[in-house]
Homo-oligomer: A and B are copies of this chain.
Amino acid sequence: MQAVATARAAKPPADALDAVLASLSARFGDRFTTSAAAREQHSSTLTWLDRQPPDAVVFPETTEEVSEIVRLCALHGAPVIPFGAGSSFEGHVNAPFGGVCVSTEQMTDIVAVNVEDLDAIVQPGVTRKALNAHLRDTGLFFPIDPGADASIGGMVATRASGTNAVRYGTMKDAVLGLTVVLASGEIARTGGRARKSSAGYDLTRLIAGSEGTLGIVTEVTLRLHGQPEAVAAGICAFPSVRAACEATIAAIQSGLPVARIELLDAAQVAACNAYSKLSLREVPTLFVEFHGSDASVREQSERFGEIAADVGGGPFDWATRAEDRSRLWQARHDAMWAAGALRPGAKPVPTDVCVPISRLADCVEETLADIADSGLQAPIVGHVGDGNFHCLPLVRTDDPAEVAACRRFVGRLVERALRLGGTTTGEHGVGQAKMAYLEAEHGAAAVEAMRAIKRALDPQNIMNPGKIVIP
């Protein structure tokens, strides 16, 4: 890499910021605010990190309006912080250098659904649930399911995934094309509606996961899937986390097309029992789902039952009724709130890592031992088919000692994942909270390449500064 002077962000001079705010106020009227409540609400709320509110929030409706806003900010060197549903965990929407939060809350058009091509074009503020409600009668669905009703734009930005990723992939697989407002305010279109392309650098996947640091996503072309004819889902208890992981590996290796396979440790099962009024055995448990024809989901469920029995687990208690399935997955999605209810006054501080699946049992067992040693309460849930799991430390965030202990725990968790051949984050992203680990994961040359790309595409460092890399 060539040597380039470090371009750290700084707060813009007060008069430059005033000029930006005055122009935006005049241009956007009641779609612009500097109220303390709105600014607070548009900074990170789901982490232990201190909130760092922006100076203002603006609510554009079109790509062209976003372009206008970014041009203005670029002219005055003001930071631009994109905001979707605010459901990210790692401080992505904090504004450490102030600036303008660009909320996509009013960009909720579903521009097109192309049933024959299994794709849709949406504005970034559309949430995944709103999209699926819209798709219900088309026979199609959008499978990426991170739990929260996240916005599609935010999901692109963090390269989100969730429970269905083992079968349907992550946002990197779901995004066919993007409209992006670059740091200059220029509007770029990447990818398109073709299912695949080898036409030049893959800007679509460079932007996906860039957390708003290279541009703001203003339109997304998504790949959809046919609603399965039949769905079977169920619960399977195991004598240990290791046995649950072994069953998962065997299922995937044998080519069973698992749609979802989720691990809950004993602590999380207990939390779900209490919160969601279930009566599961409080042992390591897999929630499993299959998609296919009536005959194939039956066959798959039976085969999974045999695989589970081979490692001492089971029985695999499955059903195809929609009500039974919904109750199960609602409980899974409420895991964070269920965990939170275990310790009143504390906040669940979700963090995630991902390791090769063969090391998952090691990683979870070591983490359980760490939790026991450190006296933390931190249930575990995992997208075990991907080797991805979440810890939910329950932290009194007003107690600096607890926050510091939690930080150290996360540091050990990341170090463990890297030692086992894994990654700092499987799906939550880097944000502010995981920047410190990036070089340990990727090495100096790769991180310097990321910095070079950031400098090339955002020379003033105005796009969501202070996230992922310091250019």
Contact = CB atoms under 8 A, between A and B. Distances in A.
Interface of A: 1-2, 114-119, 139-140, 158-161, 165, 169-170, 172-173, 182, 184, 186-190, 192-203, 205-206, 208-210, 214, 225-229, 249, 252-255, 257, 291-293, 295-296, 299, 354-358, 386-388, 421-430, 434, 437-438, 441-443, 445-450, 452-457, 459, 468-469
A426 B253 contact: no
Given A192-B423, A198-B159, A455-B456, A446 B203 contact: yes
B354 A195 contact: yes
Contacts of A388: 194-196
Contact of A206 (B199, B201, B421): B201
**Nearest 9 pairs between A and B by C-beta?**
A456-B456, A226-B255, A116-B358, A197-B423, A188-B445, A205-B205, A452-B456, A194-B423, A194-B354
16 contacts: A1-B184, A117-B357, A117-B387, A161-B196, A172-B202, A188-B443, A192-B441, A193-B422, A195-B387, A197-B425, A197-B426, A198-B428, A199-B429, A201-B468, A205-B205, A293-B299
Contact of A453 (B165, B208, B210, B456): B456
Contact of A299 (B296, B425, B426, B429): B296
A193 B445 contact: no
A190 B446 contact: yes
A132 to B, nearest CB: 16
Interface centre among A170, A203, A210, A428 (most CB of B within 10 A): A203
Given A169-B173, A194-B426, A199-B423, A182 B445 contact: yes
A227 B255 CA distance: 7
B202 A209 contact: yes
Contacts of A443: 188-189
A170 B196 contact: yes
Contact of A422 (B114, B170, B194, B206): B194
Contacts of A165: 196
A226 B202 contact: no
A309 to B, nearest CB: 18
Contacts of A354: 194-197
A426 B201 contact: no
B438 A198 contact: no
A426 B196 contact: yes
Contacts of A196: 159, 161, 165, 170, 354, 386, 388, 423, 426-427
Given A198-B428, A200-B442, A201-B209, 7 more contacts: A158-B198, A188-B445, A199-B429, A199-B434, A200-B469, A205-B206, A225-B255
A189 B425 contact: no
Contacts of A423: 192, 194, 196-197, 199
A254 to B, nearest CB: 6
B117 A430 contact: no
A12 to B, nearest CB: 19
Contacts of A438: 199-200
Contacts of A214: 201
A252 to B, nearest CB: 7
A173 B170 CA distance: 11
A200 B430 contact: yes
Contact of A189 (B193, B203, B296, B446): B446
